[in-house]
Amino acid sequence: MAQIGIIGGTGVYDPEILTSVSEELVDTNYGIIKVKVGEYKGVSVAFLPRHGAEHAVPPHKVNYRGNIMALKKLGVERVVATGAVGSLNLEMIPGEVVLVDQFIDFTKNRIQTFYDTPENGVVHIDMTEPYCNDLRKVVTTAAETVSVPIRGKGTYVCTEGPRFETPAEIKMYSSLGGDLVGMTSVPEVVLAREAELCYCTVAMVTNFAAGISPNPLTHAEVLDAMERNHANLKKLIMKTIEILPGTRGCRCRYSLAELGSLGLGK
C-alpha cells in the first residue's frame, strides 16, 4: 500500500528519490497500469509517469482513468502531479513553479468520469475547489522550507493537444482569465476528485505561450526547461513527502459521501 502518489509529467520520468523500488502491475477496469512503488524516509510512495517512461504517450491518449484508479487501488490518498506549462501571464516567467488553484477546460475528446454506466449511476462532482487546498498549503510550506520560489495560485487552461496553441487561442484564453496553458490537468484532476483523492498540480513554467514568446515553440524547449529546473522539483517533492501530516483533514475524502456504497473503491 502506498501513502502518496507522484504523477510525473513531461521531463519527470524516474522516481530517483525512492529506495526499495518495485514495479507493480495494477489491474483496473481500464487496463493494466505500471506503477513504481518505493520508499522515501519511511513513507511509501507510488510513482507514475503520465506519458510513460519514454514519453511515448501524447496528452490526448493518456489513460487518465486507469492511472487514477491504479493509484486508488494501491491505497494512495494524496497525489502530487507535476506538469510543464506555458505562460499566458507576463508575471509568471519561465523557470517559476506555480501551484494551480483553478482550471478552464478546453479539451474535446476525453472521458472525464468513472460514472458513465448504468451500474455506476450518474455523478455531478463539485469542483468549486478543484485542487486540494490542504495539500497545496503543504507544498507551499515545503517550497518555502527548501527555498524554491513558488506562486500559490494560478488558473490552468487545459487544451486537447498534442499541438501547441495558436496566438489567437492564447489571446482568448488570457482574456478569459487563464494564467497557464497545458494539456494534462483535465480530466486528471476531475477523476482524482471522483476517487476522493487529495490532488494538486505543481506546474513548471517552461516558456511563454504562442504570440507572447518571440520564438516558435518546440518540445525540445520544454524538455530543456524541465531539465534545468529538475533539482528544484526534486527538492520540493522530497520535502512535501517529509512534512505531510499522517491524516487528512480536508473534504476531498468525502467528495462522494452522498453516494454511500456506490463510491469508487467502496
Query: What is the C-alpha to C-alpha distance for residues 184 and 82, in angstroms, rounded to an integer?
Result: 10
And the C-alpha cell for 32? Answer: 493494466
Query: Cα–Cα distance between 6 and 81 in angstroms, integer?
Result: 6
CA distances from 192 to 19, 130, 201 (A): 26, 9, 11
CATH number of 4-262: 3.40.50.1580
Residue 80 pLDDT class (50, 70, 90 cuts) = very high
User: 525540445: which residue's cell?
Assistant: 220
Q: Cβ contacts of residue 71 below 8 Å, gap of 6+?
A: 2, 5, 35, 46, 48, 79, 195, 197
Mean pLDDT of the 240-260 span = 88
> Would you state the pLDDT for residue 261?
42
pLDDT tens-digit map of 90-109 = 999 988 999 999 999 999 99
Task: Work out the number of other CB atoms within 10 angstroms of the CB of residue 83.
Answer: 28
Q: Is 140 left (phi over 0), alpha (psi -120 to 50) or beta?
A: alpha
The whole-number pLDDT of residue 215 equals 73
